[in-house]
Structure 1
Amino acid sequence: MTSRDVERRVQTPDAPARRAGPLPLMVLGEIRTCLLPHSVTLDGQATEELLALVPGATVRRRERPCALAFSPRKAVGVDCHLGWGSTAEARVVGTVASSVILVGGRVAQMSAHTVVVRAQQKQRRPWSHYISRVGVTEVIGALPDRAIADEELIAGYLSVPSPTTLDLGSICARQLEDIRRSPLLDQNPPLLAPITRLRWSAQIGGTSGPAVSFRLDDDLNRTAHVIVRRAEEIPDAVRFCQDVAVHDWLLTVIDAKVRAAEGFVDGRQVDLLAPVLEHLTHLWMPGAHVADLMRSPWRDLQSKANFSKQWTTRVEQVHNRIEVATYYATRGDHLTGEY
C-alpha cells in the first residue's frame, strides 16, 4: 500500500471531474477484472445493493446494449513518493479515485486512477484541500532532473513499488477482495476464471486525435498507454481503458478454457466450454460503452491486436469442440480415446 493508507469515503459526482486546473503531467491507473463469485447474473436491484459503497451517493446504471453499472467513486488519500525512472522519486500528496464496474451482472472490475499535477505551493497543504479534488495527486517540491519526460514517469510507475511509493495495485486488490467477499454473493460462480491486471497511463499532447498502445506482459498482466488532446478528455480515456480491460479479460478466459479442454475428448470438454457460451459470449461488445471520441482508438487497437478476430475464432472453436465432444460421447468412442 502507500505510505499512510488513508481512505475516506466521500460523496462526489458520479462522473470524473472535468474541472480546470494545472495541466496534468500524467494520469496513472490500474484495473483488475474478474468473474463475480455468484451463481446467477445479478439483476438491477442486486447490482445497486452490491455497488452502494458510498451512503447517499448514486449507483449509475445503463441497460443497453449491455448492462453496465458504476459504483460511486471513493477517494483513497495518499502521501507517498512517485517513482521517476530507475532511482529518482518525488513526493506526491492527494487522492486516488476508485470505483467498481459491473458488466452484464457477471464481470466485476476495480478501477483506480489519479491525475498527477504540479503543486501550486511548495508546502504540503491540509487534507481538506486534497480531499476536495478526488483523483488528483500533487507533486510537491522540485521535480528530479528530466522528471517530466514521459518515459521516465511511466517507467517509474511500472516498476515494482517500494513501501513508500504509490501502489495502485494494492488499492485495487484490497477493494476488489472486499467486493468479492460481499455477503450478497453466494461464492458459487458457474466457471473458474482468473483475475487480470491492466496498468495504464495517459498523457495530454495528441494533435491528430486520441492514440493508444497496448501490450501483453504475461498471461495475466497488461499495460496500455493513451494519448489525448485535452485534459477534458481524461474521463473518456479512463472509460476506454476499462472497456479494453474487460474485453481482454474475456479473451483471456476463453483462451484458458480452450487450452484446458484440449486434454479431453468426451463430455468433460462440454463441462469446461459450455459455461463460456452461456455466461460470457453475449458480453463481447468492444467500444459499445465508450465515448465517440475513443471509438477511433478502439478501431486502431482492433486492427493491430485483432481482438474481435481472436474472439470470433475462439467462439467458433468452442462451438466446434462441443459438437465434436458430444458426437463422440454419444458414440462411445471416448472410451478408446480414438477419433
Structure 2
Amino acid sequence: MTIDRAGGQTTVRLSGPWTAPYAQRVEALVGEIEAEADSFPVLFDLSGVERLDTLGAWTLDRTRHELSSKGQADFANASPEQKILLEEAAYRDFEDKPKPRHARSVDFLVDVGQSVAGAGKDLVGGVGFLGELISAMVRVVIHPRRFRGTAVINQLEQIAYRGVPIIVLISFLVGCIVSQQGIFQLIKFGATPFVIDLIGILVLRELGVLLTSIMVAGRSGSAFTAEIGSMKMREEIDALRVMGLDPIEVLIVPRILALIIGLPLLTFIASIAALVGGGLTTWVYGGISPDIFLERLRAAVSLNTFLVGLIKAPFMAVVIGIIATLEGMAVAGSAESLGRHVTSSVVKAIFMVIVLDGLFAMFFAAINY
C-alpha cells in the first residue's frame, strides 16, 4: 500500500493479494489508511490488487464507509469482478430502530388482545386437528389393516402401566391429606363420620379423574410433544409423507387411542388409592374402623357418583392428546422451539383439563346426576 497526496486529494494505491490468509496484514494496512488519510476526497486505486476475496472487500468497504463520515471516499480502477464483490460484501451499519413509546396501559391492552387472538387461533387449530383425527380414525375403521395395534399396546404400556406407581402414590397421599383435614374440621361439630361422605364423593367425582389427568398431561403429554417434535426436527415426519404414510394415522391415532383407554383405567386405580389413603387416615385420626368406613362409604356413594369420574376421563384424554400432538407438530427446527412447545403443551393441557372439569361439574349439576 502506498499513499499519494496530490491535487488536493489522497490516493491509496493497493497491490498484492487482499485475502483471508493475510487478514492480520490487511487490518494493519487499513488502520494506517484511517490514520493517514487527512485530505479528501480519498480514492482507493485497486488496479494493482492481484486477488480480492470477501474479507478484503468487506474490510476495504468498511474503511471507505468510516472515511465517508469525514469526507468523500470511493474506489477507482476496480475490475468488473471486484466491483461485483465489493457490492455484494458491502459493509452495512445496522442501527437499532427506535422503539415507539407507548403508555403502560396501552401496552397492557395490546398484550391482552394478542393473548386473546392467540387463544382463538389455538381453538380454531385444535378443532381443525380434531377433524383430521376423526377422519384418520374413520379411515382406520374402513381399512382395518392400517390399524397399528402394536403401537397402541406400546403406548398403553408407557401411559398406563408405567404410570401406575406415581399416580397411586400421589392419589394415596392426597386421600390421606383430605381425610386428615376433614377430620380436624368436622370433629369440632361432632360430625367425624361425615368425613367418609366427603372423601367418597370428592374422590370419585372430582379428585380421582382430575389428579390423574394432570399427572398424565405432565408425564405422557410432554412425552408426546417431545417425541413428535424431535421427529419434526429430524424431518422424519416429512419422510413418512414421502413414503406415502399419513403421520396422523401412524403417530397420533395410536397415542390418542391409548390415552382414551388408559386414562379411565388410571382414574379407577387413583380413586381406589385415594379411598384407601382416606380410610387409613380416618382409622388413625378418627378411630373409624375399616368395616365402618366401608359400610358408610357404600351408603354415601352410588353408582352415578362412580360413573361421573369415569365419564369425564375419555374426554380429558382426547383434550390432552390433541394439545400434546398439535404442539409437537408445531415444533420448528431448533431445541429452543422444542422446549417452548413442550412447556406450552403441559400448561395448555392442564388448563384445559381444569376448564373441562368445571364444565362437566356444571353439566352434571344441571341434570342432577
Q: Give TM-score, length-normalised by structure 2.
A: 0.27
Larger radius of gyration: 2
Instruction: Name the structure with the higher strand share.
Output: 1
Instruction: Name the structure with the higher helix share.
Output: 2
